[in-house]
Amino acid sequence: MSGNHNHIVDNSLAGKVKEQTGVSAARCYQCGKCSAGCPVSEDMDYPPSLIMRMLQTGDSADEELILRSKSIWFCLTCEMCIARCPMEVDIPPMMDYLRSESIKQNKSNPASKNIISFHKAFLDSIRETGRLYELGLTLDFKVRSMKLMQDMSIVPTMLAKNKLNFLPEMIKNRRNIKQIFQKTIDKKEETK
């Protein structure tokens, strides 16, 4: 598009999501399979299929609700939704983008505070130990998820719903996670 200043820019949130992630919310036909499979949908204010619907409306009030929602912070990037979606709507990267947009616009839900501060402390601890490459982003994600679930006390809901299939992988890293938690706690104490 370089040199062409006449193309129409879609300024809706869905338009920005599409531009940044390549994923189109318009493809969603509201079958609800993503929400049915999502391990945290019950605890979200708007389950993933509803987030898709709210993006589709292009209504600024809906967009505001999305950016201020807990849902975008509860998302564990587990990819259960995309695995089930008949339209291959790749929700996790959309959630990622919505989180960054929410921060950018200063609209992040209070529920995000724990996860953001934890994430920061976690990165600091990596910086100190220089173990970024060893640990990798997968563990980072898993630690974030564990912490989030603990904070939100949503593990019991997930157990009741038998939606913990992805936990064995997380438990394998329990030792590491424990150490990292300890570091994070120490850090918090230091900054008090």
Please report how close the Cβ of residue 39 comes to ligand SF4 at its closest, in angstroms: 6
Please report how close the Cβ of residue 131 comes to ligand SF4 at its closest, in angstroms: 26
Q: Determine contact, residues 15/9, Cβ cutoff 8 Å.
A: yes
Please report how close the Cβ of residue 96 comes to ligand SF4 at its closest, in angstroms: 10
CB-based contacts of 154, cutoff 8 Å, min separation 6: 40, 42, 43, 74
- Cα–Cα distance, 39 to 60 (Å, whole number): 28
Nearer to ligand SF4 among residue 92 and residue 180 (C-beta): 92
What are the residues binding ligand SF4 (CB under 6 A)? 28-34, 37-40, 48-49, 52, 75-81, 84-87, 89, 91-92, 95
For residue 110, what are its two tokens? Answer: 């209070």
CB-based contacts of 107, cutoff 8 Å, min separation 6: 64, 67, 68
Q: Determine contact, residues 46/73, Cβ cutoff 8 Å.
A: no
Nearer to ligand SF4 among residue 19 and residue 79 (C-beta): 79
Nearer to ligand SF4 among residue 126 and residue 143 (C-beta): 143
- Residue 26, classed as helix, strand or coil, is helix
Nearer to ligand SF4 among residue 31 and residue 123 (C-beta): 31
Please report how close the Cβ of residue 35 comes to ligand SF4 at its closest, in angstroms: 7
